Amino acid sequence: MCEAIVSPLVGMVNKLTNRSCISSEDRARLLGLPSTARLFDAGSYLVREGDSPSHCNIIVSGLACGHKITGDGLRQIVGMHMVGDVVDLQLLYLEIADHNVQTLGRCEVATVPRDALRRLLVEHPSISHAFSTTILVDLSISSEWLLNMGRRDARKRIAHLLCELAARMDREDAAPGQDYRLPMTQEQIADTVGLTNVHTNRMIKSLIDDGLITFVKHTITIPNWPILVRYADFNERYLHIP
């Protein structure tokens, strides 16, 4: 019995394969990309606005977020990246990054030369197809976030985010409504849903008090999934889970 060395890119390949049909040769090509994995502390920057890095980052374990900052220093988180995600998909086709990417909690990240990845994209349509699909799903999530921030009140907004994360989290058992680890501070949640940390705290409290969720030690539990889903007006269609 010999344990094969697992590429840090398996997460990425699995995710791409789920979303799109990729031949086993193409899978092998992706896994064959030169990559190095590294461990980052919570709050490390992986990409900074204005950068034009020569490497792409892929989450191997942990969580990261993309964010932007206004002229007067207010922060808005514009996306969440989970295991298997390429956090800088932007750089596949655009030259400079227009937002920052930062780890949430400790995070293992694989690095791949941008050029090597780009070469695969032009040479193998099905790989390019898979990445494009991923970008479209990101865009779709982004649209739902706009709806969430623009048209739902604070409590629903947070509930909706928690539903989405539950649905997107990579877990062995597919059933939602289980616990999941959420290595975010309440301030970061606030920056995700466009509220203040104080008000976010009150609303989370009230969700807990009403028994809709549990939130201890960075672990979210959803005791009754259908109830939270209905309350949050959550419809997972926009996630395009196959």
Which residues, other chains included, contact 142 with Cβ-Cβ below 8 Å and sequence gap of 6+? 78, 79
Of 199, 231, 236, 238, the residue at the interface with DNA (CB under 7 A) is 199
Q: Does 76 bind DNA (CB under 7 A)?
A: no
Per-residue mark of binding to its own copies, 58-97 (x: CB under 8 A)? --------x-x-xxx-xxx-xx---------xx-xxx-x-
Of 67, 118, 197, 231, the residue at the interface with DNA (CB under 7 A) is 197
Q: Which of residues 223-242 bind its own copies (CB under 8 A)?
A: 233, 237-238, 240
Q: Please write down the long-range contacts of 21-30, taking CB distance under 8 Å and 24 or more positions apart.
A: 21/126, 22/126, 22/127, 22/130, 23/126, 26/124, 26/126, 26/127, 29/120, 29/124, 29/127, 30/120, 30/127
Which residues, other chains included, contact 96 with Cβ-Cβ below 8 Å and sequence gap of 6+? 50, 51, 52
Phi and psi dihedrals of 37, rounded to 5? -100, 145
Q: Does 137 bind its own copies (CB under 8 A)?
A: yes
**Residue tagged 């040769």 (tokens):** 25
Per-residue mark of binding to its own copies, 20-39 (x: CB under 8 A)? x-------------------
Give the one entry of its own copies, DNA, none that residue 198 binds, where binding means its C-beta sits below a cut-off of 5 to 8 angstroms depending on kind: DNA
Per-residue mark of binding to DNA, 15-54 (x: CB under 7 A)? ---------------------------x------------
